[in-house]
Amino acid sequence: MEKNGKKMTANEICSIALFMALVCVSTLFFKIPIPLGYAHLGNGFIFLAAIFLGNPGGMLCAGIGSALADMLGGWYAWILPTLVIKCLMGFFVSAIACDKEGNAKIFCGKTYLALAVGTVEMVLGYFIAGALLEGNLAAGAAQIPGLLGEDILGIILFFVLGVALEKAGVKRLMRGKA
C-alpha cells in the first residue's frame, strides 16, 4: 500500500488496522437508538484516524470499520451505504485538515472546517440513503437530529482524546517517527 508515492511502514499499516477496530467496536457497543438505526461513538475515532493518519488511512478506517460494525450488528442493508458515506467522511476530513505531508493540528481552523464538512457529508449521505432504503424523504429526515447528536458526541470525543494522544506523542509513534 502506498501513501504520497511511498510505501507505508508497518507502523502505519498497524495503526490503520487498530483504528479500524476502534471505529468498529465504538460503533457496535456504544449505541443510542435513533430513527432507522443508532447513534454511536465511532465518529470520534473516525475523526481521530482522519487527522492522525491522513489519507488513505483515515478513509479506510472510517469506511471499513463502520461497514464492519453494520455487518456484525446485523444492519445488512446499510453496509454498502455506510461504506461509501463513511469513506467519504474520512476522506474529506483528512483532505481538508491535513497538509501535503499528512499533518494536521487538533485545534486549528482547517480542522474545525474539516469536522463541519465531515458532519454535513455524513448527515446528507444518511438522509439520502435512508430515503432510498425506506422509500420516502420523511424517513431519511427523521434521522437528522440523531445524526447531528452523534457527530457532536464524536467531535467532543475527538477533542478530548486527540489532545491527550497528541501530547503523548502517539501520532509520531503511529507514523514510525518516535
pLDDT in tens, 82-131: 999 999 999 999 999 998 887 888 889 999 999 999 999 999 999 999 99
Which residue would you say has higher pLDDT here, 138 or 36? 138
- Intra-chain end-to-end CA distance of the chain, in Å: 21
Is pLDDT of 174 > 70?
no
Q: Which CATH number fits domain 2-174: 1.10.1760.20, 3.10.450.630, 2.70.170.10, 3.20.20.100?
A: 1.10.1760.20
Q: If we measure between CA atoms, which residue out of 14, 89, 13, 108 comes closest to residue 45?
A: 89
Residue whose entry in the numeric block shows the C-alpha cell 493518519: 53
Q: Which residues contact 144 (CB under 8 A, 6 or more apart)?
A: 123, 127
Report yes or no: 48 and 155 within 8 Å, Cβ to Cβ.
Answer: no
Amino acid at 176: G
pLDDT, greater one: 162 or 177: 162
Q: Where are the alpha helices (DSSP H) in 1-103?
A: 10-28, 42-53, 57-73, 79-97
Owner of C-alpha cell 449521505 = 125
C-alpha cell, 115:
469536522
Q: Are 17 and 61 in contact (CB under 8 A)?
A: no
pLDDT score at 7: 83
Q: Where are the domains of the chain?
A: 2-174
- CA 102 from chain centre, in angstroms, equals 16
Residue 50, pLDDT score: 95
Q: How confident is the model at residue 176 (pLDDT cuts 50, 70, 90)?
A: low
Model confidence over 32-89: pLDDT tens digits? 887 777 788 999 999 999 999 999 999 999 999 999 999 999 999 999 999 999 999 9
Which whole number is the average pLDDT over 18-37?
89
